[in-house]
Chain A
């Protein structure tokens, strides 16, 4: 059935399907990133010290790595192709910029990962110790490089740079590759995300080790793993905090509506308060976090919709005015593309289009309210992310402290906390992506392309069907993975 307009149901189901795939993907990828570091450190210790204990430990964590890896790969495949299947307009409109990182990811990162993971698993008796160790590290490097390129792509959607719209080809075209690949937003997002992956891996190793200690099993392995995991985890947690802080400033600068939604801030101003939970606020803290100045100005949702004058004199247009200018851009575009337009009128239309291009995406919005993302979800997701991160930092520090003092085995409450850190780190990771992606709605690409102009023209029932197919499939695979992981942990390392 052909549709006469883009139905809201189509947009919703397409978004739901992408969100589902991304959320599942991010259940598996951070563990891959983090476990890669832990097991590579262990194998390095094995090669340096020639102590079979470390080989046994590395191989145990590699086994869990392998169980997790496959589902990450599977969900990643779907994610890549969904840009085409469900967001076809997007794929052409910005494919000139967005496709490049995905191709580089394939050529540079995926083959490295695929090649060396085979050596890592099947090469113990077939290649030298040094080559095997290199393969283990390169598996992790491949995974990390892959993260780099996909996060470059994601960062570009949050803060598009290095491109120009070409009305002849009706797409944005890349003008500066390095501006895209090394934009400050991409660098910070990469560090923040990869370090959160390290944190996940470290917390997973620490949690499993705590379980062994609670059961009084595999104690040498558990203590050795805890020492490595807590150090990696603490380094990662501090890095996540530092990059999170920088990320906050970038969001305030480039995506102020997302920041306002994260805080549920209706009206902003100087000395904006940070809301710990509804009704409990720290005066000036939001200004400090967002601008690194306690007197800094932070606009609220209403300010952004109504328009405001920044204390430095900058006039920020109202949403109504941006939408009006966006419609002017669309109108100019239509005139420019029409076969009947005279050359002089075409040139004038082109100029008018380029003048209004910064607002092009706004022309598709039906009302100013479309610019407000789901505030409740963004607000609470942010608190889960930050609160979870704080909890993990404290638990990891305590685990390391008491392990060094030799009294960890007696502190069963802490071992329980270590074990329960595993669901916390996953909740924090998922919440982080909810903040990043839900908070930027309605934009597929910030200020450039809203989701309603990015989606493929499909029957909503078709997308609904594939959504449920993926939901059932991914859930079954997740349950299977969890059961296999639990069995493998219960069984312990092989001799």
Chain B
């Protein structure tokens, strides 16, 4: 029997999975943040750009689909967070816009701004995109200052359902240190994944040793920050729906979620283990180039599990610090039963989409990218 509750959980799972895939695909941004740090000459920088340049559309499309899926399944989040935390989202979007054009334009004659500027756009997106996305996700655990009042639609002068409780409109998230911690953790994770991806995708003797060193340089701060944030989440309080339907602060809520939902807890642990495996094996085994598969898959699992812990088991996934009753749960923010069910039918196409992406990816990446291919390649950025 497909119940409303089942559909809300199903769609939260899909949104969480898309979130996990998005963080994994941020290897494009992480890699781009290293263009100038790793690429010592034009040939190397060109290799790096062409390597992520063949994948950027997947990251971009996943971001768009993540937004679309959130809109369709949990529209109250879409309206509350995007309309409220305005500046955070606008800055994220701006950085992705700059990235979208930078690949195609950076090497083209007549590009107005010059090659270096476009490459700086890629680097800027590599810094800003993962960091701010991490900050935005951190607010799922630390809370935001908003008020939701659906009855306000009856006010003919100010018919506003969701309103931000301060004038900072999202920049206030930067006043919370733990948001910085996750933002930086995601940033360093993206860089680790970027280096691991380059190791796998580029066959170049000059870059390989530097990429391994870079994995270590970014891996250490990532692990420290990630452990710190997870520690805070597991040991801190969380917003939960009590027996009366009120949203209250509950000690160890997220830790309890992982224990009370063993499958989610196990997924999280397996994900973390796979990320560490990909990272450590790359560092210890000189010829190992497939760390991206393990770390990437682990990232998807760990992030998906974290988001599931944020939304399942009677938890408010988007808590309000100023009006706990306004906090968003998967029950009070979702679309109707009819829409979720209709969308569930459409979601059955996802395996087909994944299959053709995998095949196309396999066909393009059968051989690693080399300087030789770029010299004689029929299309390059």
**A interface, CB within 8 angstroms of B:** 1-6, 59, 66-67, 69-71, 73-78, 80-81, 83-93, 95-100, 102-108, 110-119, 121-127, 131, 135, 166, 169-171, 173-175, 177, 327, 330-331, 333-334, 337-338, 363-364, 452-453, 456-459, 462, 466, 469, 473, 476-477, 479-481, 483-484, 486-488, 491
Q: Does B81 contact A (CB under 8 A)?
A: yes
**Would you give the shortest CB distance from B13 to chain A, in whole angstroms?**
15
- Tell whether A327 pairs with B109 under 8 Å between CB atoms, given A119-B364, A124-B378: no
Q: Does B252 contact A (CB under 8 A)?
A: no
Residues of A contacting B366 in the complex (Cβ-Cβ under 8 angstroms): 126
- CB distance B100 to A74 under 8 Å? yes
Residues of A contacting B363 in the complex (Cβ-Cβ under 8 angstroms): 119, 123, 126-127, 131
**B interface, CB within 8 angstroms of A:** 54-55, 57-58, 60-61, 63-65, 67-69, 71-73, 75-76, 78-84, 86-87, 89-90, 93-94, 96-98, 100-101, 103-105, 108-113, 150-151, 153-164, 167, 169, 335-336, 338-339, 342-343, 346-347, 349-350, 353, 356-357, 360-361, 363-364, 366, 377-379
- CB distance B335 to A6 under 8 Å? no
Residues of A contacting B347 in the complex (Cβ-Cβ under 8 angstroms): 107
15 pairs of residues in contact across A and B, judged by CB atoms under 8 Å: A6-B158, A73-B100, A85-B82, A88-B82, A98-B71, A100-B343, A103-B72, A111-B353, A114-B57, A122-B364, A122-B377, A175-B338, A462-B169, A473-B97, A484-B110
A363 CA to B93 CA, complexed, in Å: 35
Most buried by B among A6, A80, A84, A174: A84
**Would you give the shortest CB distance from B148 to chain A, in whole angstroms?**
9
Count A-B contacts at CB 8 Å.
295
Residues of A contacting B89 in the complex (Cβ-Cβ under 8 angstroms): 81, 84-85
A163 CA to B75 CA, complexed, in Å: 16
Taking A95-B79, A107-B349, A112-B353 as given, write out 12 further A-B residue pairs in contact, using a Cβ cutoff of 8 Å, ordered by the A residue number: A6-B160, A70-B103, A70-B105, A91-B75, A91-B79, A93-B153, A97-B339, A100-B343, A108-B353, A115-B57, A333-B154, A459-B169
Name B's interface SS. Answer: helix
**Would you give the shortest CB distance from A200 to chain B, in whole angstroms?**
20
- CB distance B160 to A89 under 8 Å? yes
**Would you give the shortest CB distance from B52 to chain A, in whole angstroms?**
12
Residues of A contacting B361 in the complex (Cβ-Cβ under 8 angstroms): 115
Residues of B contacting A483 in the complex (Cβ-Cβ under 8 angstroms): 110-112
Residues of A contacting B103 in the complex (Cβ-Cβ under 8 angstroms): 70
A134 CA to B41 CA, complexed, in Å: 37
Residues of A contacting B105 in the complex (Cβ-Cβ under 8 angstroms): 67, 70, 480-481, 484
Most buried by A among B69, B94, B100, B151: B100
User: Nearest residue in A to B159 (C-beta to C-beta)?
Assistant: A453
Contact of A92 among B64, B100, B109, B161 (CB under 8 A): B161
Residues of A contacting B98 in the complex (Cβ-Cβ under 8 angstroms): 473
**Would you give the shortest CB distance from B71 to chain A, in whole angstroms?**
4
**Would you give the shortest CB distance from B26 to chain A, in whole angstroms?**
15
**Would you give the shortest CB distance from A429 to chain B, in whole angstroms?**
21
Most buried by B among A75, A110, A327: A110
